[in-house]
Amino acid sequence: MEDLGQFLLYSAIAVGKGALVTIVVTVASLLLGFVLAVPLSIGRTYGNRPIQFLIQLYEGFFRGTPHIVTLFIFYFGLRHVGELFGNPAFQIAIPPFPAAVLALGITSSAYQSLIFRSSIQAISRDQYNAARSLGMGRWQAILTIVFVQALRLSIPGLTNEATIVLKDSPITYLVAIPEMLTQARGIIDSAMGKVFFEVLIPVSLIYFGLFVLSNKLFEMLDEKLKIPGFELERR
């Protein structure tokens, strides 16, 4: 029985650490995605044809390929990139954590770019024209008038994207990021298959708890940034 207590304590700590890593991976990927998606969505809306085309290609590639393939490209693929040019000594070795955040973040940027783009298009062209008629430059009008409002409209879409990235984060298990699923697997292995649901069910519940938490945070943001009179009142 002493062993069981030890085992439970060890397991709880491991899962707790894993949960923290899951949160860090998710938040870092979302932030990277956000930082990339802002210029992407603006370029896709206001850029010239070639720029729009390149961004469309980028979005299409990262949305259209399995995220796990993207992860493998960043982690394994880049180590072998030299072989493509007959120079096996040349390799780009990205450690697991940055590779995981790059893969999830870049993938997320493709989705977030689309979220922002639809919001940008929801802001009337007249508001942009009005800003220009006051003498604002192109970028000033886009950023201070159009994009701030687009961000506000993007909150529901971002809420969704955040939960998707959260639930995609377990694929980083495959490059040995010590996130929650990796920890769960470790516990199952160390118990030599005697526990299974005992580990997976709590882990699922923690994922669900994080989902609820993230939804709640975005809901609070949504409420805080409400524009008076502009949206339906909450009942």
Contacts with another protein, residue ranges (CB under 8 A): 123-124, 126-127, 129-137, 140, 144-145, 148-149, 152, 227-230
CB of residue 146 vs another protein: minimum separation in angstroms?
A: 9
- The least CB distance from residue 87 to another protein, in Å, is 49
In this structure, the number of other CB atoms found within 10 A of the CB of residue 234 comes to 7
Q: Please say which residue, 13 or 148, places its beta carbon nearer to another protein.
A: 148
Minimal distance, residue 111 CB to another protein, in Å: 24
Q: Residue 13 or residue 134: which is nearer to another protein going by CB? A: 134
Minimal distance, residue 158 CB to another protein, in Å: 17
CB of 46 to another protein, least distance (A): 15
Which CB atom, from 91 or from 129, has the smaller least distance to another protein?
129
- Residue 78 φ/ψ region, left for φ over 0, alpha for ψ in the -120 to 50 degree band, beta for the rest: alpha
Three-state DSSP state, 123: coil
Task: Pick between residue 28 and residue 123 the one whose CB is nearest to another protein.
Answer: 123
- Asked if 142 contacts 42 with a C-beta cutoff of 8 angstroms, the reply is yes
CB of 218 to another protein, least distance (A): 18
Which CB atom, from 50 or from 135, has the smaller least distance to another protein? 135
Looking at beta carbons only, is 14 or 150 nearer to another protein? 150
